[in-house]
Structures are given as structure tokens and as C-alpha cells.
Structure 1
């Protein structure tokens, strides 16, 4: 799905015009130069997608647009909004800055070091703080306020947090409430659609029981995204999830003739062997 950029949209990192990339987990739009730095940080820091040349699940794009339009960038640049930061000489990058070292150093400080994020008061037990944040996230995802949830996640809330009293996770809560954009955000931060609550029900079950069928289908897509890609790469097609087929396994050869793998399986094995084992 392509994205039509408005002329008012600028790069979240250098304020350059016409950003053509999105950092999905940061909820920002970025330009080509800044994107090159984001890529060097790794997907655990920034998950980038091209706004026009990459197919988007509609609700994933809507989630990023909503965060960007509602000022998600202020989460990552909180302290830079303080007039005192100008007096101290701290500033964000601008379009005229060189990529290296100016833009690169700023982007690393912003996303890798989280140098400008609002910090909570120091506490002796960080695990208690994370648990409190996760409980807040558990409550917040029932609403449509994505920025609040992104802020909690930026501070250390866990997307897969299992609430001991409620017996479920934030994704269960969002699914029951039909909050599809919250579900997208949680999934980006690692929430598992296959996680069971204390009764053995998954977020997909919650969505279906609540009549949120689009959300249920999207959660299934997210749950099997990796194996779907592998199936398409090996077999040229994807499973039919609507009819309960979640995996495609290359068929074995007719056992009456041979115990060897079929030609399809052999081709799949050859493709797998050709895949680089290096991690970019």
C-alpha cells in the first residue's frame, strides 16, 4: 500500500522535507540520509520500511501515521523541547548537516542511547518499575491513545507482560476492545498473538468472540508472518489461514518409488542452503 505524503511532513530526525521512509517501532517518518543511519543501528533499534515501494498492511501503516501525526517524535526528543537544552548547546540535526558525523551521532543518541527520552525517578529495583509500567500498559491499550502506550514501551513496559491478577496480556486486552492499532503497536514490540491467557484463550480468540473479525485475521497474519514468508520462498504460495491451513510442508515423494525427497522438497532444500547465514 503506497503512502501519499503531505507537503507538511518532514523528517523526524533532521526536519528535511518529503521523508520517504518510516521507522515503524518509533512512529516516525525519516528521509533517505537518516534512514541509512537507522539501518546501521539494526532492527532491534529501528525497523524501517519505505513508504511507497514496500507493501504495507493497511492497519500497520495507519498505526505509524497516527503516531507521527500525534507527535510521537516528542517521546524521543523530550528533553530537546526544553529551552534549557538550547542554552546548553544541544540541538537536533538539520538538513544541511553531514550524515557523518552530525546526523549519525544525533540519531544514535536519540534512539540507541535514548538520551532525550523523559526519565523516571531512579528506583532501587528496576524490575518493580518495569512491572508498574507494564501494568499501566495493560490498562492503557483498551483505549485508542497510541502515544501513551508508545511512551510506556519506550520507558521499559513489556508488550508480552502477563498480568498476574488479570490472567492475560496487553494484547488480550486490546483484542477484546477491538483496538487494532494498539494490537499493531504491541506486535511491533514483540507481543505474541499465540500467547494463552489463564483459561487457554489467545488474543485471536478474544477478537473473534468480540466480533472483531478484521483484527482476528490480522493477528493470525502476524502470528504466522515468518513461516508464511518461508513457505512462499520455498513453495511459491502461502497457507490458507481462513480455512485452517497454517503451514505448508513440501510433500514427500511417493514411498512406493523412493524414500528420497520429492523434487519440490529438493528445490526447497537447495534454496535454504543458498541463504546466507550472516546477520545484517
Structure 2
């Protein structure tokens, strides 16, 4: 029985050897045929007749984007940032019992600080120690507020008090000889030189006051007052409305807010680094 097993093992080995030799021979033939083709390609071929003219296949090239020269905006065309001015606000003791008062408009931090000392400031408050924007005075506290100067926006016609000239009543809604020329609020205002007189739009309540904004004209400030009043009337009920002309021909209006007392909106003019007009 062992004899037959050795015989079968020998036949298997012979079969594997034959297959290995066949694969080796096949590889040699393939390598020989590839080398022959390479040699034939390297030989100089005789000239032959072309049946068709050669065609050149050109790839589609995307047109290159030309570099566009971007002109830098000139200083004249570039929008100029709105200048900021400082406003002094005085809040008397005890707090939140009386509306605050706006003392003046200043161009620099040095001038507004000097103005605070002129109105009695002697030391920083607890909040002022953090940013230097609030002082204490013997009768209250003085705050330094920063506001952007607004030269465009909603305007409202300001009706001034009628005055007499040569004994006759003079209408103010029509131009007269010798009057100052009218300035359109939407025209370009140069920011190189700070305007001497600024107009504050103020909303005053029974216990506090709020500066709506700082404007270059009376009509702009008055428009801001009426806009702020309209927002309040949209959410709450206003009754007993009144409108009049205050001192220095400054417009003002007031109304009673149901459940919150009487509120007033008015315009105040201040000279920059000076006193109120």
C-alpha cells in the first residue's frame, strides 16, 4: 500500500514540474516578442505614402481672464465716516426722580473733561472708574456721552414764531430779502471743519431724559423728535397732545402717556465747546 502512495506522490511532483516549465516558457516567449517589437520600432522605416493628411488635434483651451486693473477709490469718492462729538449730561440727586439736563456739546475729550470740571465735577463715580465717562458733583452726577453727527435723515418743517418788520406782520413760510439762504439738509456737508452750532433732539419723561441724536440742522433734529414720538404712539396711547415754539424759536411737542405721565420732545441748540444758545 505504501508503494502506491510513493508512486502517486511522484506523479504529482512531475505534474507540478511540467506546469512550472510551461509557465516559464510562456513568459520567455512574451518577453522575446516585446523586445522584437521594440527593436522594429527603433529601425528607420522607409518613406510611405500617406492616405490622409495628418490632423492636429488641438485641445480646447479656456480663454485666460485678463487681469482687470482695479482703480483704488480716491479720497474724494470714498465715504467719509461720520464725526463724533461729546455731550455732557447732568443727572441731579436723587437719581431717577427728575429728568436729566444736557449741558453742552464738545469736540474733544480734553474740552469735554474741562467742561465737566466747570460744572462742578470733582471725582469719578464708581462706574466712571472703569472708562472715565462719569463724574460726581456736589448735586448729582455728570456723564460724558458720545454721539455721531448726523447730517442726513428725516426732516420736518419747523414753524417759527411770526415777527414784525416795520410794524407789519412778516410771514416766515416764504423767503424775504436779506434772509439767510436756505440750506438743504441732504447736501454734502464737509467734515473737515466742525460746525459751530449743533442741534440735540431730546425726549424727556417725568423722571428721565434721553438724547435721541445730534444733528447739523434744526429740521433734522425736529424730524427725529417726531419720529421717536411716532414710535411711542404706535406701541402706547398718547393723549392731550400739544405743540408749540419754545425759546430761541426751538420747536417742541408734548403728550400724556397713559399710565406714565407727560412726555415732551424738543430741540436744543448748542455751540460746540461753548454754551447753549
TM over 0.5: no
TM range (shorter): under 0.3
- Which protein is richer in strand relative to its size? 2
Larger relative contact order (CA 8 Å, sep ≥ 6): 2
Superposition TM-score, scaled by structure 2 size: 0.24
- Greater Cα radius of gyration, structure 1 or 2: 2
